[in-house]
Amino acid sequence: MCDQDTFASVPLKAKGVTRREFARIGAVAGAGALAVGSGAAALAQGRLGEKEVKFPAPGGTMDGMFFYPREGKHPAVILWPDIASLRDAPLSMGRQLAAEGYAVLVANPYYRSVEGQQFDDFDDWRSNNGMAEVQPWMAANTPAAIAETHVAVVEWLDRQDEVDTDKGIGVQGYCMTGGWTIRAAAAVPSRIKAAASFHGGGLVGAAEDAPVNLLDNMAEDARALIAIARNDDAQAPGDKDALRAAATAAGRNVEIEVYRADHGWTVPDSPSFDVDEADRAWERLLALYSAAL
């Protein structure tokens, strides 16, 4: 799970990409989840647009960044950052996804409590007692709140000229927002057709509204990708089996895999970032969206 103890034994900046390094590689094409360059290049060449957004949502004003190809209409994707929220890493990931042909909203998961970026990068979060700071913001995101937030976000996306409303919407989440993706697909099954959870927390539980128990509320033609970190699997080895059993019982298309990397491996500024496994997860994400949207 994503708490400060998870990363306590990893030296600062051991593997992740810092804010300064993002600036340095911004004009260089890379691969997979670290392919910041191609998204930045597409923006520089005028093929991508981006804008800060704010709009009313339950409990406050949603804010974030919207990335989109300038020409045509495209399937929409909601990208929820991890526990450290809005910053260069998820924004770069959103820009890269837009370069693949999607209209991407990178949304503030703490909008009910605070606006905009709160931490410079992941190191800033874990070095400055970030968990204590975000705990009250996290508490505002109850299961019911998460569901109603997605209703509002989908309504906003469907009003955007860049969004193809004939296509389904995708939603992807990392760490604490991984479980949000299943909640989203269950809350708005008419529009959300793809859910992708990366090293997500809170997926399995006994409550009726636990994500594992919501799979049958997803649309019958929806798909999901649940990518599990190996150290999370070591702590809760039964979760993958519970998810597989629930997917089978619900008759839903859900890809579940334990990756050969630790919690946070898909996010470039995470100390657990693993470029090879991040590339593989990115490829599976694109395959999911290609099939479902």
Residue 126 in any domain: the answer is: yes
DSSP for 204-233, written as a single string: --SSTTSGGG-GGGS-TT-EEEEEE-HHHH
pLDDT at 2: 55
The domain that holds 169 is classified in CATH as 3.40.50.1820
| pLDDT higher at 274 or 124 | 274
Q: Name every residue whose Cβ is closer than 8 Å to that of residue 219 and which is 6 or more positions away in sequence.
A: 185, 189, 190, 192, 193
For the four alpha carbons of 224, 149, 176 and 13, in that order, the dihedral sign comes to positive
The predicted model gives 132-146 an average pLDDT of: 94
The model's pLDDT over 215-270, given as tens digits with 9 standing for 90+, comes to 999 999 999 999 999 999 999 999 999 999 999 999 999 999 999 999 999 999 99
The model's pLDDT over 147-163, given as tens digits with 9 standing for 90+, comes to 999 999 999 999 999 99
The model's pLDDT over 23-54, given as tens digits with 9 standing for 90+, comes to 433 333 333 444 445 555 565 567 899 999 99
- Asked which of 3-17, 137-151, 174-188, 235-249 is least confident by mean pLDDT, the reply is 3-17
pLDDT at 120: 85
Residue 3 in any domain: the answer is: no
Q: What are phi and psi of 185, to 5 degrees?
A: -65, -30
Q: Which domain covers residue 104, as residue numbers?
A: 19-292
The model's pLDDT over 60-83, given as tens digits with 9 standing for 90+, comes to 999 999 999 999 999 999 999 999
Overall pTM > 0.85: yes
Residue 10 in any domain: the answer is: no
133 pLDDT more than 90: no
Residue 150 in any domain: the answer is: yes
Residue 12 in any domain: the answer is: no
The predicted model gives 92-108 an average pLDDT of: 97
Residue 279 in any domain: the answer is: yes
Residue 5 in any domain: the answer is: no
Q: At what angle do helices 178-187 and 143-158 cross, to 10 degrees?
A: 70
Contact 95, 43 (CB under 8 A): yes
For the four alpha carbons of 63, 282, 289 and 263, in that order, the dihedral sign comes to negative
275 pLDDT more than 80: yes
Rounded Cα distance, 12 and 16, in Å: 9
Contact 68, 74 (CB under 8 A): yes
- Written as six digits, the tokens of 8 are 């306590």
pLDDT at 45: 60
pLDDT at 124: 77
Residue 250 in any domain: the answer is: yes
Buried-exposed string 70-101: b where 16+ CB fall within 10 A, e elsewhere: eeebbbbbbbbbbbbbbbbbbbbbbbbbbbbe
Distances (CA, A) of 205 to 201, 209, 236, 288: 11, 9, 11, 25
Domain total for the chain?
A: 1
